[in-house]
Amino acid sequence: MSPSLARGSSKDTDEIVLPPVDFSKAMRGVYAHRMGENCEDEKRVADYWKGLGFAVESLESDNDRFSRQPDLRLLRNGKPVAYCEVKTIQRHRHHIRILHEDREIEERVELSAVPVEERLSTDLVTAIRQLNYANSDRTLLNFVVLVNRDPESSPALLAKLFAQRPPKSKRGLKAKHESWTVEAIQNFRREVDLCLWVDGLSNFSVTGYFVGNPSIREQVEGFTGLGLEKLLPLEPAA
C-alpha cells in the first residue's frame, strides 16, 4: 500500500508529512520540472563504500530517479548493515514550460533562485524521509552522504542548520513552514547514524562528518579512517 500524503502532524508511520504550502502565487499554464539527480555522484559514493570493504546494492534503477527508496544498501560479510542516501548539493536547474493561448509554447532552463540554506534544508529533509520509508523499524543503520557541488554551501552551514531552533511564534504560513523545517532537520540529526560531507568541487574527498549514533563512533573511525580532526563540531540537539 502506498503511503498517504498529509500536511501537518502525522498520526501514523504510514503518512508522509509535508510542510504548509502557499499556492496564492501559482500561475496557470506554467509548469516547472526540476531536472534529475546526479547519477555519477551516486556511483562514486558506491565505489567509496566498496573500497572500504562493503558490498553495495543499488535500490534504484537508472529510469527511476525520484524513488521514495534511499539510493543504496550496504552489506558487510554478506549481512545488510545500513541504508545510504546520496544527495548532491547544487543549484538545481528547472525546465520551465509556459503555455500561451496566442502563440507557441515557451520553454527554457533556469537556475533556481532558492537561497542556499533552503536548498540544503530540502536535501536533508528529503534524505531522512527516504531513509525512514525504507528503514521505518530501524533494523539497519542510516547513512547519508552529502556531495557538495555548490560554492555557497559548506560544513559550517550544515552545522548552522543543525543548531537552529523553532521560531517562538508559529502564527502565519511562513512561521509554520520555518517551524516544520527546523523540526524535520532535527529529526534528520536524531535519525541519521552517520553523515559524510564530500567535496565534489575538487577531489571528491570526505572533508567532514558527524556521527549521530555515539555507539558506532569507534566503528566509523575504524572502517573509514576518519579522525577527530574531520568531525564536525555541533551544538547539542534541540
Model pLDDT, residue 9: 40
- pLDDT tier at 25 (50, 70, 90 boundaries)? very low
Q: Provide the β-strand partners of residue 52.
A: none
How far is the C-alpha of 180 from the C-alpha of 120, rounded, in Å?
Answer: 15
Full 3-state SS string of 138-170: CCCEEEEEEEECCCCCCHHHHHHHHCCCCCCCC
- Give the mean pLDDT of 183-196: 94
Which three cell numbers, joined as nine digits, stand for 143? 547513512
For the domain with range 37-92+115-230, which CATH number is right: 1.20.1630, 3.40.1800, 3.40.91, 3.30.300?
A: 3.40.91
Model pLDDT, residue 193: 95
Handedness of CA 204, 208, 214, 220 (dihedral sign): positive
What mean pLDDT is reported for the chain?
81
The answer, yes or no, to whether residue 151 has pLDDT greater than 70, is: yes
The answer, yes or no, to whether residue 155 has pLDDT greater than 90, is: yes
Domain ranges in the chain? 37-92+115-230
Supply the Cα-derived Rg of the chain in whole angstroms: 19
